[in-house]
Amino acid sequence: MPTEIGPDHHLSYDDIVKLTKAKQIYLIDVREPQELKEAGELPESVNLPLKDVSKALGELSDSEFQKKYNATKPGLDAPLVFSCRAGGRSLKALQTALELGYTKAKHYKGGFMDWEQHTKSKNS
């Protein structure tokens, strides 16, 4: 039975900024690598495409994860936050992570489009 996703699983731009500054986040971007090259990426995020989430988080050893994604594999109690372009894929990744036992997993509901909107408005 799927884990219930409630309002506390959805983070905003301000939440992401605050958690990143406090180093209380393990940010995973579930877009494809080509999307990141074309559109840009969230600062300090690990690219883990949606199609890889279940296997990477559920089956890979720490060393295999490190080798494939050039990042430390998060523990089950890590403050995971998934992001994508607009929030759809990150919600799927969140559901997968919760089912795998990642108890503190959340997602950035606005995704990269929201990030870009906020950062462009601050820089103009």
Report d(CA 100, CA 9) in Å as an integer.
16
- Listed in sequence order, the residues at least 6 apart from 80 whose beta carbon sits closer than 8 Å to its beta carbon are 26, 28, 74, 97, 102, 104, 105, 106
Given the residues 42, 56, 57, 84, the one annotated as active site: 84
Question: From the CA atom positions of the chain, what is the Rg in Å?
Answer: 14
Identity (one letter) of the amino acid at 50?
L
Catalytic residue status for 84: yes
| Residues with active-site annotation | 84
